[in-house]
Structure 1
Amino acid sequence: MSRFQSRLPSMQPEDRFDQRSTEGPPTESTRELPGVSEGRLPWRLTRTNYQLIATVVESYSAVLPRGFVFPSRHALCRYVEGFFGGFHEHLPVIHIPTFTLATEAPELILAIASVGARYRFQTSQSHHLYFAARALLEDQLRHRDGYKPKAPVFDIPGSFPTLPQLESTLLADAPPSHLQNNHAPTSTERDLQTMHAMILLIALGTWNDRSLLRDAFSTASQLALLVREQISSLSEPDSQHQSWREWIKSEGRRRTIFVAYCFLNLHSVAYNSSPKILNREMGSLLLPSPESHWRAESQESWQLARDKDIHSGLSLEEAYSSLFNPDSSRRAASSFGNYVLVHCIIQHIFFARQLQFPSATASSLAPGVLGRLDSVLKSWQLGWEATKDSSFDPSAPGGPLSFNATGLFRLAYIRLHIDLGPCRQLELRDPGTIARAFSNAPLLERSASVARAVLQCAHSLSIPVRIGVEFVARTQTLTWSIVHSLCNLECGLFLGKWLQTIAAVLKRGEPLRDDEQRLLGIITSIVNETELCLQVQYEQDQVQKISQVAAAVIRLWAHTFKGAHVFEIMGLIGAGLDLCADML
């Protein structure tokens, strides 16, 4: 019963109850958010606030899709809970202790609801809300860039009325003030809300139905323009002399810009497109602060968190440059900062690859470049290990960012040695294309650097095996980021290709190096912990046995994608890995 609300329903009339209640309708769980008291849970929505949101959204009926129906209060609360319980912690932009849904931009409200509906597996409702959010976003962008921009929510976009002001507006039976004023200026806060809505809509378009992918790429280009505007007008204040409220605004602005950068970088990883925001454009920004600072609920708790988890401002350029100088003394970055830094490394590798012609072999990065980036990855790993919140547990108190960063770290190691990005063609949504990319990829070089990448991939496989492959398949939807789906795809393909390389070496009668023998033993022992061990244990021919280990490794990865999926691309990845295993 602890999963359900313990209070019995009130016997009071609804109107009397709603006037004194600050809670939303009961939901199926009482999920908690780190550092957030029960009374501040963002899905606790009063009837008054719900009616205000509905009134604001309905005022855009001229631009909303025909037949759009705003969700009921129960449904909206469920979707908002789905968003914060499943998506938000992977890209923590919203400052939950001061967040009020009713004061957010309407396109952001609908985008949050659309993502949340996905996390409640209500696909048709998510699509319904997605197209409504897109319509409001396009309307906002048109008015923002026009001669007479319309304030989409309030008199001055980005201002935050108090709840009593909002309620008095509604109780007065008058239209919200933003409906009476079409000539309000834009503001930084309003633009940040629009950018956040764009990020969510890009996510929905990127990882789901192929028909939405064109929308996602178009919105990504518009988002990049807004990011550049924010960077050009940003001046980093001295956080030591800021109040808590001032710090929230400046930190929230940085986080929004960094999340946009990281998400656009992830587009590059998934679809082999050029990153829309470059590392050098982000260099002057201070890296995000620790999550303990961001989650503080008051001025006092924020100050205590700053005293406990001391964090000095470090620009992205300073932090990234220090990775290239292992002898320099480095200040520890936050878990969010480490996540940003590994994105920088991946972008660096991407452009190093682009300097080659397609006829070059997949593992032919110049030795000097390869050695330098290998050293950078070692430095990043040391920094990650020194960060307080670092964990391999996506449910750790410090949040899943450090866990997600490890997936990108492994991806970076893989892409030093093989680049499957151009040939996977995930945009086609065709499992056969993934299998052909694996089949056509060349065998790997045999080097110490490749061995380190293999070790990272083996460790990645050991995590779901240790937890339980079946368990991960059924639960990763709500705890693992899409980042891990992309990284696990390449980990599976890379390990399979390395095992093919080892089998080819033995087939030629050549001996294995000591490190290769150890790695082969590690991978075989991981497979032996699973139900697929019987396919391997009784094979006498060594070459054939290694081929079976390769098939088992890829099939294990494929099996982790067998559960229910929030995003449709995960099913595609699982099907593609299954086809790769069938080929071995």
Structure 2
Amino acid sequence: MPDSNLPAPNNPEAFLGDLTASSIEPSTRTSHQTLAQPTRDFDDFALFIDSMTIPYTDGIAAAFVGQPLLPFSPSPLFGPQMPQCSYAQWQNPSVVSRDMTATHTSAPYLLDEFSSTFPSFESCPSEKFRQEPWRLTQQDWGHLTAEIQLFTSVLPADFFPPSRHTMARYIATYFSGFHRHLPFLHLPTFSYAQYPVDLILAMAAIGAQSSFDHDNAVMFFRTSQAIVTERLRCHKAEQCRRTFSAEHGLPTDSQAPNPRWLRDSSSVQELPPGMSANGHSTSQFGALSAAKTLLLLMAIATWANSKAIYNEAIGLQNTLSSLVREERFLEAQTQTPENITWHKWINIEGFKRTATIIFCFFIFHTIVYDTPPPILNCELDIYLPSREKDWAAASEKDWQAARKESEPESAFQSSFSYLFSKQRGDSNETPKGHSSLGGYALILALIQHIYFLRKTSKCKAPPEQGIAPTDVAAVEQALRNWQNGWYMDPESSFSPGSPQGPISFNSTALLRMAYIRLTVDVGPWRSLNTHDPHGIAQSIHQSPDLEPSHKLTRAVLYSAHALSIPVKIGVNIVARSQAFIWSLQHALCALECAFVISKWLIAMHYRSPDAPLDEDESRLLAYIVDMVAEADPGFYFESNRGVAPHIPDLCSRVIKIWAKLLSGEAVWDVVRMIGKVLEVYGQMLERQAAA
């Protein structure tokens, strides 16, 4: 096939029409017959993956490429060490405070620069030291520990203060991993004094989990949860006190004094809903900071995947949704004024990103647990976040240069409505693009829309059940418009190692999920809230057969395209690196893709001889055969020996490839559970094929 006939490599739907059917023999158009041998040169699949731009250097190796060598340190070699203290000592704040005060202004010592410098006896004043934003100084550590002391009455019994360097390592791990997938904190201006200690502990919990320090992750999670819960309790008590005082004509300060942490803490400056960029909140309770903390805790509880933690995830969801509504996050004034300063823009953009990611994460709960989201699409009335390049600008000068290249952000409601518009050839209206995070929110909003369409369709009489054709057509139009916007985004990429971050890449997994869910009701058949891999695999295996259709063929194509990316990179490489690079969205998508591919192949196997495969189905089968042969050496060897595999064998091998991709060490338990589900499901299919 000449290169000039190749479609756009990143458009699976266009690719479907141009696949050659040369590797499918006419005999494969009948049921219960064997597949033809895959082409020895993998004509279709090889041409497709060769046209993709995902070099291995964008994978796990990218984490080590371009890292600076260790610069010489201007710090003295030794200095006073941090005093060690037990939890019992923490119960006596005066002792700890006295010890901490003695070290607040002490000179940094060798371990200050442990991760970034060579040790040196001499300072190097001619060389300017480049400091990481998350570097935890002795003064920062003293500030954090002093703030923790204010909450000794609510700290868990098993809490103990970690070392300063352990904390710094966890925060660095948070920014190098989790933050890249959900960037709502502004890394260039990050400082420990800027955020409350419960948020820092929540970040450390994720960093500890990402470092496989599970016990510390649980301890940080419990401590952060206890502190933010106490803040919320005192905030509600203060609101009740003020309301009671106002109703009875009493002075607002006539009641009992505020708790010590509220009296002693500095004001949290953040942009509240409804306030212009010319002012700041002086409230000592930071609703936005509390929302960020609850968001991270909810993420930990969701991905931890234990029944006890699941209950906490739902409880945190309820607390966070109540806070969002009480503080009116959903209708905040977030349009960026002209001639805004960098720091004021950071406040507005940070609020937009936090509110947007909270909205997105609520939809993740819908995907994982098949439950209604607490915030509906029609309720989110803010402007979409800006581009990642703007958010990552390291200085005001870099930000001004990046903003000149960025288009003004549009409102979420207008952008979502635009997705359903029909663009005619004679229209002067140009397609709308969107930022990576904006597109991420829009595709999740479409998944929420599909969820409600499918749920309401079940109220109809059995013959009428299913999403109405008019609704299907409208969503398909929206998905096409979303794809056009994705292509218009200069930061869009099919690579998990994109310099602008993996958000755009993660959105492609959600697009596949949207197409699958529009075609197949997958939610009830993969009930992850049971936390039982064998039960979930059995549920998938016993789910009803799928009826072949053009729409199903397209959903299978998107699923096969999802598998082709790790096959291109290398299944073993991805299996060993997915814990650090691939997002949880891809693990969730993998389960649904494997479900749809396997059910489609089974439908092809049992298809009546009177209903032969159409051209698209034949091409798609050839594509899957070639892809499995590329990923599975045993399958390739057998096919080259002239052994034509049955479709059931092909089906089990596809599931085994998916299972292998998720078999490596994973940070989050939910990924390991999905890998186990696919492993068990593959064994069931293998036994069925051998029967």
Q: Is the 8 A contact 2:368 2:528 kept in 1?
A: yes
* Corresponding residue to 1:255 among 333, 353, 358: 353
Deviates more, 1:247-256 or 1:326-335: 326-335
Matched, 1:14 2:112: no
Q: Which runs of 5+ in 2 are unaligned?
A: 1-63, 81-102, 118-127, 242-257, 271-281, 424-428, 686-691
1:517 to 598, 608, 618: 618
Aligned pairs for 1:30-45 (under 5 A) are 39=130, 41-45=132-136
Counterpart pick for 1:406 among 508, 525, 540 = 508
Q: Deviations over 1:268-327 (max 9, x none)?
A: 100001011110011x211100011111122221111011x2221201111111111131
Asked if residue 493 in structure 1 is aligned to residue 595 in structure 2, the reply is yes
CA-CA distance at 1:24 after TM superposition: 7.1
User: Counterpart in 1 of 2:112?
Assistant: 25
CA contact (8 A) 1:50 1:73 kept: yes
Partner residue of 2:288 out of 177, 192, 203: 192
**1:241 aligned partner:** 339
Write the mapping of 1:69-468 to structure 2, written as runs, cut at 5 A: 69-147=160-238, 150=259, 152=262, 155=265, 157-159=267-269, 185-187=283-285, 190-208=286-304, 209-228=306-325, 229-231=327-329, 234-282=332-380, 284-307=381-404, 309-327=405-423, 328-357=429-458, 364-468=466-570
Alpha carbons of structure 1 residues 514 and 28: separation in structure 2 relative to 1, 3 Å:
farther
Task: State the TM-score, normalized to the length of structure 2.
Answer: 0.75
> Structure 2 CA distance, aligned partners of 1:22 and 1:234?
46
- Secondary structure at 2:311 match in 1: helix
CA distance 1:99–1:17, change in 2 (3 Å):
closer
TM-score (norm 1): 0.88
What amino acid sits opposite 1:574 in the alignment? G
CA-atom RMSD, angstroms? Answer: 2.7
DSSP 3-state at the match of 1:479: coil
Q: Secondary structure at the match of 2:578?
A: helix
Per the alignment, do residues 468 and 238 of structure 1 end up closer, same or farther by CA in structure 2, a change over 3 Å counting? Answer: closer
- Identity in percent: 34
Q: What is residue 244 of structure 2 aligned with on the other side? A: none
Asked whether 1:548 is paired with 2:645, we answer no
Distance in 1, matches of 2:331 and 2:478, equals 31
Cα displacement (A) at 1:347: 0.3
Matched to 2:152, the amino acid is S
For the residues of structure 2 that align with 1:364 and 1:38, how far apart are their CA atoms?
A: 63
The Cα of 1:238 is off from its aligned counterpart by 3.9
Deviations along 1:496-545, one digit per CA (max 9) or x if unpaired, are 1111111111x545310000001111111110102252486279897x62
Letter in 2 for 1:196: K
Alpha-carbon distance, 1:406 to partner: 0.5
1:100-121 CA-to-partner distances (Å, cap 9, x unmatched) read 0233111101101100001111
Change (3 A) 1:389 1:80: same
Q: How much has 1:73 moved relative to structure 2?
A: 0.7
Report the secondary structure of 2:329's partner residue.
helix
679, 685, 691: which is aligned to 1:578? 679
CA deviation map 1:27-81 (0-9, x unaligned): 6689xxxxxx984523311112112111211221110001311110111011101
Conserved? CA contact 2:136–2:165, under 8 Å: no
Which of the pair has the greater relative contact order for Cα pairs under 8 Å at 6+ separation?
2
Contact in 1 for aligned 2:199/2:224 (Cα 8 Å)? yes
Q: Is the 8 A contact 1:384 1:390 kept in 2?
A: yes
Q: Do the aligned partners of 1:524 and 1:549 also contact (CA within 8 Å) in 2?
A: yes
Distance 1:550 1:414 in 2: 18
Amino acid at match of 1:515: D
The structure that is helix-richer by fraction is 1
Larger Rg: 2
Q: Residue 442 of structure 2 aligns to which amino acid in structure 1?
A: L
Q: 1:233 to 1:545 in 2, by over 3 A?
A: closer
Asked whether the equivalents of residues 455 and 519 of structure 1 are also in contact (C-alpha less than 8 Å), the reply is yes
Cα distance change of structure 1 residues 9 and 82 upon mapping to structure 2, 3 Å threshold: same
